[in-house]
Amino acid sequence: MIAQQPRLQPGLEALEKNVPGGTRPSYLPTLDGWRAIAILLVLLNHSVTLGGEHFNTATFHYFGPIGVEIFFELSGLLICNRLLDEERLTGSLNLKGFYVRRIFRIQPLALLYVTVVVGLTLLHRIPNFPAGIASAYLLVRNFVGMRAPAALGWATAHFWSLSVEEHFYLFLPSFLLFVRRRRAEWILALGSAGVLWRTYQYVSHGNSLPFAIDVRTDLSLCFLLIPASFAVLLQRPAMQAAARRYLRLMWVLPLALLALPPISPLHPISALVDSLLIVTTLTHPTEWYSRVLELPPLQFLGRISYSIYVWQELFLSNYWTRGQVHAFGRLNQSPWVVLLVFPVAIASYYGIEKPLIRLGHRLAPSATPGRAL
């Protein structure tokens, strides 16, 4: 058995009391398990429906948005924590370094993917949708072209979530730079206002939320801001102690969420529940549910989850109907096409994503060493 050592520093890293010796100081393995769950939910949502009259995989399509929301919540929690740790260690926030690392983390793979989409469009393998391509390049996809037919804009539609995250990266560091007091309260207030705004939009649209509106930044930031407020609160030892004491049974709450209808004004409450559930696995690393998240297959899947998310859209085109052009012809009609996503994602991770993350960290070393988020 590997010796275990307690962590003493504040922040998320202090939540896992016992960490295997030799583990990178700011790497939290449990969170790769969460990334794996999130990407599996997305893949289920985008895959061709299988089954018959009494049971089919369309049942699982509802959980796709939850997968994206988990990605949001992980980003809100971890990015805020990293910034606060840097401020604690250095006394300031190096925004230039932060943005250099984020650019090398996100942009090269995203730009390569959109360039491939351009090539496939020129080859007449996918529908021509210039607005989708341009807005994906500019990371405003969640505001442009979302009212177009799904089959037309599908190839770049998933860039809506990357756009929301980039907008969050523009907001949060500046907020932390200029707001020094009561940060958690302010961020939580903004997140709560976002939940109310989202609920108002739901009600005003006849108890529905059209996708083109659902993906707007102002309606999605609550899924990042609420967990970011938790990151600020968990810098306080008293809050860490309370989390360890009271969150042990939080894992049962998602079961209650399953009772909610697929479209509900209460849906944004998942930003709170999911975030607390993530914190629960950090505060109780020896519990069975946390250990499951650290299983090697889930760890690996979590590490390559960004590459999977970027490339899966070309393969899993369940919104493209028969008779339309497809990126890979008849392959897109096969339920087994999902298996092609993984070798492409693995090659992308090791050949593009990982080397460029390292380059970004060489150009702008982080004050909190460990695997880049």
Task: Name the DSSP class of 19.
Answer: E
| Position 24 confidence tier, pLDDT thresholds 50, 70, 90 | very low
Dihedral sign, CA of 167, 174, 304, 307?
Answer: positive
- pLDDT of 222 strictly over 60: yes
Q: Token digits for 52? A: 């018959």
**How far is 144 from 139, CA to CA, in rounded Å?**
10
Instruction: Write down the pTM of the prediction.
Output: 0.88
Higher pLDDT, 277 or 6: 277
- pLDDT of 259 strictly over 80: no
Q: Which of 179, 220, 189 is closest to 75 using CA atoms?
A: 220
Per-residue model confidence as pLDDT tens digits over 345-367:
999 999 999 999 999 999 999 87
**How far is 307 from 341, CA to CA, in rounded Å?**
9
What is the torsion angle, in degrees rounded to the nearest 10, for the CA atoms of residue 354, residue 355, residue 357 and residue 361? 140
- pLDDT of 150 strictly over 80: no
For 227, the 3-state DSSP assignment is helix
Question: φ and ψ at 295, to 5 degrees?
Answer: -65, 140
Enumerate the domain spans of the chain.
Answer: 27-48+58-363
**How far is 78 from 169, CA to CA, in rounded Å?**
12
**How far is 213 from 74, CA to CA, in rounded Å?**
23
Using alpha carbons, list the distances in angstroms from residue 199 to 195, 226, 268, 276, 355.
Answer: 6, 15, 8, 21, 42
What is the torsion angle, in degrees rounded to the nearest 10, for the CA atoms of residue 299, residue 164, residue 371 and residue 172? -130
**How far is 267 from 269, CA to CA, in rounded Å?**
5
Higher pLDDT, 66 or 10: 66
**How far is 253 from 333, CA to CA, in rounded Å?**
37
Contacts of 39 (CB under 8 A, 6+ apart): 67, 301, 302, 305, 308, 309
Strand partners, 4: 20
Per-residue model confidence as pLDDT tens digits over 36-95:
999 999 998 887 665 555 555 666 677 778 899 999 999 999 999 999 999 999 999 999
Match 């996503």 to its residue by tokens: 341
Q: Token digits for 327? A: 């990126």
Mean pLDDT of the chain: 83
Using alpha carbons, list the distances in angstroms from residue 17 to 8, 27, 33, 237.
Answer: 8, 13, 18, 13
Task: Name the DSSP class of 350.
Answer: I
Q: For the chain, what percent of residues have pLDDT higher than 70?
A: 77
Per-residue model confidence as pLDDT tens digits over 95-131:
999 999 999 999 999 999 999 999 999 998 888 899 9
| Position 3 confidence tier, pLDDT thresholds 50, 70, 90 | very low
Question: Please, are residues 129 and 152 in contact by the beta-carbon 8 Å criterion?
Answer: yes
**How far is 180 from 306, CA to CA, in rounded Å?**
32
Per-residue model confidence as pLDDT tens digits over 158-194:
999 999 999 999 999 999 999 999 999 999 999 999 9
5: part of which helix (H) or strand (E)?
A: strand 4-6
- pLDDT of 301 strictly over 60: yes
> What ranges in the chain are assigned the alpha helix state H?
29-46, 64-90, 95-122, 130-137, 150-157, 159-178, 183-204, 211-214, 217-220, 222-233, 237-246, 253-257, 270-283, 288-293, 296-303, 305-315, 338-348, 354-363
Q: What was the pLDDT predicted at 46?
A: 82
Per-residue model confidence as pLDDT tens digits over 310-329:
999 988 866 555 555 566 65
Question: φ and ψ at 99, to 5 degrees?
Answer: -70, -30
